[in-house]
Amino acid sequence: MADYTYNFTGKTILVTGASSGIGKQICLDCAEAGATVIMLGRDEERLKQLLYQLEGGSHQVITGDLKDEQFIERACQGLPLLDGVVQSAGLMKLVPLKFINAAFIDEMLAVNLRAPILLLSALQKQKKLKPASSIVLLSSVNGVAVGSLANSVYGATKGALQSFCKSASLELAKTNIRINCIAPAMVNTEGTAKISEHVSAEAIEADQKNYPLGRYGTPADIAGCCLFLLSGAGSWITGSTITIDGGFTAQ
Amino acid sequence: MNVEQFIRRFAEQFDETPTHDFTVDTRFKENDEWSSMTALSLIAMVDESYSVRLTGDDIRQSSTIKDIYDIVSAKIPNQQA
């Protein structure tokens, strides 16, 4: 019988974008479930702070820039065998069409699309993924399910992750490794708070009314689904995208 | 920072209203074209042209182009000519 529990004792989970927002919550919840968490991010100080907050003792921090292909290769070489990988590092910036330039597109692609693909490729090349391990990519409802103003490049990168996930799932299926996307709508995080500076508090209040469940998401709303996909309860789910949006795209 | 140039760049964010309709005293939110998209374009223009981060609250507190101009001027770290 499959293990439906969220007991992650003995499992090692790699999380990118671990220093804030959704990634941070996933680290906290995985550690609480008993996993050894390897946190990958840019901000060493914040990652070290998180390290002290995590339950259990054998967690690890790796700092570096995922835009750097060589860093990705090097980081993978030092890793133990993994039971799960969560790629939540991402960049969002609202830029209207007429202000888009090559540098902006390149940066968004490098962080949101190229990095997760290169990391998975390196993990696979270096045989770091245990059979029956689970990969979770943080996508968005933006791009495939809906669009939003000034968010076209972000949406393109997040939509591309879902496209990537499908073919990758076929290759990984041979070793019973699963890969899925989570597509959240608006989640309150440090990152989205920065975006929210662009809009007034009243506009945010009004926007939350567009959500049937009446509010934006929390990092915990997303981490819950992520742990489900990492657990044995998700054993027959691969190549899929799970939408978590408070009903936003049901309308 | 040149006020005439600022007004011109501000006006460029409006697709239909002719540029010469805008002055420092223009109450831009009363323009029919004003929307959340124009606000995002304004933020992007200020970022691109002046390397200044204009916020939603800055815009909310402003009525005229002069109000925005003053906020942007105050935020420019090394005053440009």
CATH of the domain at A145: 3.40.50.720
How many Cβ atoms are within 10 Å of B27's Cβ, its own excluded?
A: 12
- On whether residue A117 sits in a domain, the answer given is yes
- On whether residue A249 sits in a domain, the answer given is no
Total structural domains in chain B?
Answer: 1
Asked if A94 has any chain B CB less than 8 Å from its own CB, the reply is yes
- On whether residue B57 sits in a domain, the answer given is yes
Asked if A95 has any chain B CB less than 8 Å from its own CB, the reply is yes
pLDDT in the model for residue A6: 87
Yes or no: say if A72 and A216 are a contact pair by the CB < 8 Å rule. Answer: no
- On whether residue A5 sits in a domain, the answer given is no
Q: Shortest Cα distance from A2 to chain B (angstroms)?
A: 49
- How far lies A142's CA from each of A118, A184, B43, in Å? 22, 8, 21
Could you tell me the residue range of the domain that residue B8 belongs to? 3-14+23-75
Please list, in sequence order, all residues whose beta carbon lies within 8 angstroms of the beta carbon of residue A136, skipping any fewer than 6 positions away: A84, A85, A86, A87, A179, A180, A181, A182, A226, A229, A230
ipTM above 0.90, yes or no: no
Rounded-to-integer distance, Cα A114 and Cα A154, Å: 13
Asked if A98 has any chain B CB less than 8 Å from its own CB, the reply is yes
- On the question of pLDDT at B80 being above 60, the answer is no
Q: Do A203 and B40 touch (CB under 8 A)?
A: no
Catalytic residues of A: 154
Could you tell me the residue range of the domain that residue A19 belongs to? 12-243
Q: Do B55 and A197 touch (CB under 8 A)?
A: yes
Q: Do B59 and A200 touch (CB under 8 A)?
A: yes
- On whether residue B58 sits in a domain, the answer given is yes
Partner residue facing B57 (CB), from A94, A95, A200: A200
- On whether residue A3 sits in a domain, the answer given is no
pLDDT in the model for residue A42: 92
Total-model pTM: 0.92
Backbone angles phi, psi at B32, to 5 degrees: -60, -25
- Compute the average pLDDT of residues A159-181: 98
How many Cβ atoms are within 10 Å of A171's Cβ, its own excluded?
A: 12
Total structural domains in chain A?
Answer: 1
Q: Report the candidate in A143, A138, A139 with the shortest Cα–Cα distance to residue A155.
A: A143
- On whether residue B80 sits in a domain, the answer given is no
Contacts of B44 in chain A (CB under 8 A): 94-96, 99, 150
Q: Shortest Cα distance from B56 to chain A (angstroms)?
A: 4
- On whether residue A232 sits in a domain, the answer given is yes
- On the question of pLDDT at A229 being above 80, the answer is yes
CATH of the domain at B57: 1.10.1200.10
Rg (CA), chain B: 12
- On whether residue B81 sits in a domain, the answer given is no
Q: Express each pLDDT in A70-112 by its tens digit.
A: 999 999 999 999 999 999 999 999 999 999 999 999 999 999 9
DSSP assigned state of A143: T
Rounded percentage of chain A residues whose pLDDT exceeds 90: 87
A194 vs A116, more confident: A116
- On the question of pLDDT at A162 being above 60, the answer is yes
- On whether residue A250 sits in a domain, the answer given is no
- On whether residue A248 sits in a domain, the answer given is no
Backbone angles phi, psi at A125, to 5 degrees: -60, -40
- On whether residue B7 sits in a domain, the answer given is yes
- How far lies B60's CA from each of A138, A197, B30, B56, in Å? 33, 11, 13, 6
Q: Shortest Cα distance from A192 to chain B (angstroms)?
A: 13
- On whether residue B47 sits in a domain, the answer given is yes
- Compute the average pLDDT of residues A202-224: 92
- On whether residue A230 sits in a domain, the answer given is yes
